[in-house]
Amino acid sequence: MPNLPDEFLQRMQTELGTEFPDYIQGLSEPAPISLRLNPRKRIQQFDSAAKIPWCHEGRYLDQRPSFTFDPLFQAGCYYVQEASSMYLEKIIAQLNLSAGIRALDLCAAPGGKSTHLLSLLPHGSFLVSNEVIPSRNKILEHNLLKWGMPSVITQNKSSDFSRLPDYFDLVLVDAPCSGEGLFRRDESAISEWSPENVNLCSVRQQQILRDAVHCLKPGGYLIYSTCTFETSENEAQVSNLVSSSEMELIPLEAAFPEIVSSAEGLRFYPHRVKGEGLFYSLLRKKEGTINDSRKFRVDEKSHGKRDRLLLQDYLVNHEEFIPHCEGDRLFAIPVQLREAFQFFRSSLYLRNAGLLMGTWKKDDFLPSQDLAMSVYARPELPGKEFDRDAAIRYLRCEPVDPAGLKAGWNLVRYSGFNLGWIKVLSNRSNNYFPKEWRIVSEEKVI
């Protein structure tokens, strides 16, 4: 069992009472191994694995494989995620959302809940995934691009979203916290814990939540979560929002007896559930007048026939996108983002939006890794099925055998799923798998 701070243990003993020994025992046991399948990249690899009861695509594994060296993981066929956080699916189902939702994941890195939302939101919706820390934003972008569904990625402080008052139908705040729920699997969370850090997290959460409420549309929903047991970071934050008179609490359904229902939300304890410690709460912004003075400027710039035909050549359901050029880069922008896209560009630090198709070099088009990973990439695009050894060599950015491939751009596939591009020349092939994605070490479960 990890060596835990005395102050933390004393508080947990008071909180849990007779369950405290069970909690301590739970921390001494190995952390469950779980993942969530990508419904748009269906695989059978984990068909025999036990299902996570609150997540249709969630699976428990008996032992941890080498995810990094599984080409299906690199193809975005699944996301390695702890099970408790997957309860997001039950919350979204409770909302019974209509089509065309504007959603914001305000503290999105590393991307577990964002990828889940992309799979859960109704047709015609769009998701903005935000992370202010640059290094974590890169991880977020990587995970979202692998998932293969178009989204908007921003790198902003929560206060920057004050430029979008009363805008989003749904805001998820998976707040930075003291991390007590991850003590079993993350020793750094233990070493960083202190009462002072708990207080610091509480103050930071208050500001983030104020900003979240400001950009939430009247009638819209706020999902708040942390991976801590601290009341000051959980129930107290929710109570503060409700007392402001602008928000109202929506009771969450504790669909399973092992989940603890508190007045302000749900608590997940590692000795009760097969997952880590977590808190979830759901609130709704009361109806009122929408403070919306924005003037959307739609880019009506005509696009060349070349760009429109390229979307048609590379994408299924190409009519769901409009082409957009920035310099020599060509993007496919989902039609539901058509108006908001220009506003996001002018108001936020936009890291990515829609689908980067590739880059024009005079009359030559260089397809992007984003396109290779997209669920909208046409399955009949030229390419070759690789066995596992060859796929691993490709993912290490090593030379690969181009035998059987036509000259030009080809997709590398494993079990029918795209990994990236190679370009076959007259006497060699070039590996275009992104160097920054090159596999070298094991992924961390979040």
The pLDDT tens digits along the chain (446 residues) read 668 999 999 999 999 999 999 999 999 999 999 999 999 999 999 999 999 999 999 999 999 999 999 999 999 999 999 999 999 999 999 999 999 999 999 999 999 999 999 999 999 999 999 999 999 999 999 999 999 999 899 999 999 999 999 999 999 999 999 999 999 988 899 999 999 999 999 999 999 999 999 999 999 999 999 999 999 999 999 999 999 879 999 999 888 999 999 889 999 999 999 999 999 999 999 987 676 555 555 454 546 788 999 999 999 999 999 999 988 999 999 999 988 888 898 889 999 999 999 999 988 999 999 999 999 999 999 999 999 999 999 999 999 888 888 899 999 999 999 999 999 998 789 999 999 999 986 555 44
* CA–CA dist 142, 136 (Å, integer): 10
Q: Which amino acid is at 34?
A: S
Extract the tokens encoding 439: 């596999």
Compute the distance between CA of residue 421 and CA of residue 411 in angstroms, rounded to an integer: 5
For residue 446, what pLDDT is reported? 47
Where, residue-wise, is CATH 3.10.450.720 in the chain?
A: 298-378, 381-446
CA dist 51 and 339 (Å) reads 40
Query: Given 3.40.50.11720, 1.10.1740.10, 3.30.70.20, 3.10.450.720, which CATH number is that of 298-378?
Result: 3.10.450.720
Q: How far apart are CA 246 and CA 156, in angstroms?
A: 24
Assigned CATH class of 381-446: alpha beta
Distance CA 75, CA 146 (A): 6
- Give CATH 3.40.50.150 domain extents, the chain: 6-285
- Integer Cα distance of 385 and 418 in angstroms: 9
The burial class, CB within 10 Å (0-12 / 13-18 / 19+), for 358 is buried
Can you tell me the distance from the alpha carbon of 276 to that of 23, in angstroms, rounded to the nearest whole number?
11
Which tokens go with 167?
């805008």
Q: 233 with 202: CB under 8 angstroms? A: yes
* Residue in 77, 177, 227, 397 annotated catalytic: 227
Angle, nearest 10°, between helix axes 6-16 and 20-28? 130
Q: Which overall architecture, per CATH, does domain 6-285 show?
A: 3-Layer(aba) Sandwich (3.40)
Task: Give the pairing type, strands 168-174 and 216-226.
Answer: parallel
Catalytic residue check, 227: yes
